[in-house]
Structure 1
């Protein structure tokens, strides 16, 4: 079994690049992609074409704000001029063409598919990112807010060389991918539903909760509910 540190030492300096058009097209063939009215796609350069395709295909695009501090931005399909799509799906364009979504709104149109990139993925579907854990946390937040559709799935995009033969160490936070998409096809095929994810409040530093708006609002809701229950145990 490889440690995450070992994986990052091997892959972190590899050039990120962008996913090929073929990989982006394979995403379009996923059943969950075809079914989804709203998709979550990470903000990296590798996923740029996937974000553009989602809008072209008439899907709402949910993108995490930098560091998740402001939660999530939503971009609507058919509302952005075609010539501006490349700019609109980048961080700078989110402010102009997207809108921050209130925590209370997220459940109104649940996400059916979650897409990210990674450094490497093991045979069980556990993957290693750059170490900030924002994807795992974003999925847990969306699940807690009931903003994931039943059976929502998570896929990573990358290159065949990123698939490991060995297992990667994993913890309670770590997501197990439903599939890994490369130009050679889709690997893994796990049936786990990401809608069952939970926020692990006991191991979240209070400082991090305060810095991430959706987490802070959720923590306040829980605190209010517990206070109300204590006052009226019946």
Structure 2
């Protein structure tokens, strides 16, 4: 068995163990119920996580946040809009690409609606990778939910690799760099003691925010490999337009 296969088996086992505890504090999704393989759940105390992160200098000093479309980050998206911050976000599964939520272009009474997955596309602006390059978009902080994370900042998502792909795409077009901070929102029960070895494309997190605490981890280098086309799942390429666009742009990956 290869090292890569061993890592993936370890991740799968860890996810299953966390999900047994997560279901006790998770909020069901309207579509996926408690199927944690299909969505990142909101959880009891996520409002506390949002309040804590809003006190962090990374949040206070930011102008443009990338926030994944995870359930546990809906309140953060709402708060960010109220605070005048622009949000870069993808649709579920990145199927319809990237969108920009610009608070100056959204009526304030629609901020809460705009922060939801059902509402964002009705008020946000669709933005391509080429648009981001032309507009010199610069993301200050990358924020994600995740299935589990350890004290090294190594994430265990749903197993699809969406956040890793989002990082790789934004890194390749220079909207972020290897020093761009990454933040994970999780419940306490999703934080693991076990040590793991990240794969070359794993986007580790610098800050972990939970329902009860917030702490930075010892830094691990972020991926600088971009999309590894030879190992990219064909279904992801076929269903994610920005990946197809990036392939066509044929850009060199920054060093």
Report the TM range for the smaller structure's normalisation. Answer: 0.7 to 0.9
Structure 2 spans left out of the alignment, 5+ residues = 1-6, 27-40
Work out the CA distance in 1 between the residues paired with 2:129 and 2:210.
33
Match of 2:191 in 1: 163
Q: Pick from 141, 147, 150: which aligns with 1:113?
A: 141
In structure 1, distance between residues paired with 2:113 and 2:215: 31
Q: Which runs of 5+ in 1 are unaligned?
A: 226-234
Match of 2:176 among 148, 154, 173: 148
**Partner of residue 67 from structure 1, selected from 73, 93, 113:** 93
Q: 1:190 to 1:198 in 2, by over 3 A?
A: farther
Given candidates 47, 52, 56, the residue that maps to 2:78 is 52
Distance 1:203 1:150, change over 3 A: closer
The corresponding residue for 2:122 is 96
Aligned Cα root-mean-square deviation (Å): 2.4
Distance 1:43 1:162 in 2: 18
TM-score normalized by the length of structure 2: 0.79
Greater than 6 Å deviation, 4+ residue runs: none
Contact 2:152–2:217 (8 Å) recurs in 1: no
Instruction: Call closer, same or farther: CA 1:104–1:136 in 2, change over 3 Å.
Output: same
> In 2, Cα distance between the equivalents of 1:68 and 1:121?
22
2: CA distance between counterparts of 1:42 and 1:164? 22
- Offset at 1:196? 3.9
1:3-26 residue CA offsets vs partner (Å, 9 max, x unmatched): 111122122352233453321122
Q: In the alignment, does 2:160 pair up with 1:132?
A: yes
Deviations 1:104-136 (A, max 9, x none): 122422111111111221121101111121111
Identify which of 3, 13, 22 aligns with 1:6: 13
Say if 1:32 and 1:152, in contact at 8 Å, map to a contact too. no
Kindly provide the CA deviation profile for residues 27-66 of structure 1, in whole angstroms up to 9, marking residues without a partner as x: 1122222222110111122111110111111111111122
Residues 45 and 34 of structure 1: is their aligned pair in 2 closer, same or farther, counting only changes over 3 Å? same
Q: 1:183 aligns with which of 211, 218, 224?
A: 211
- Aligned residue pairs total 224
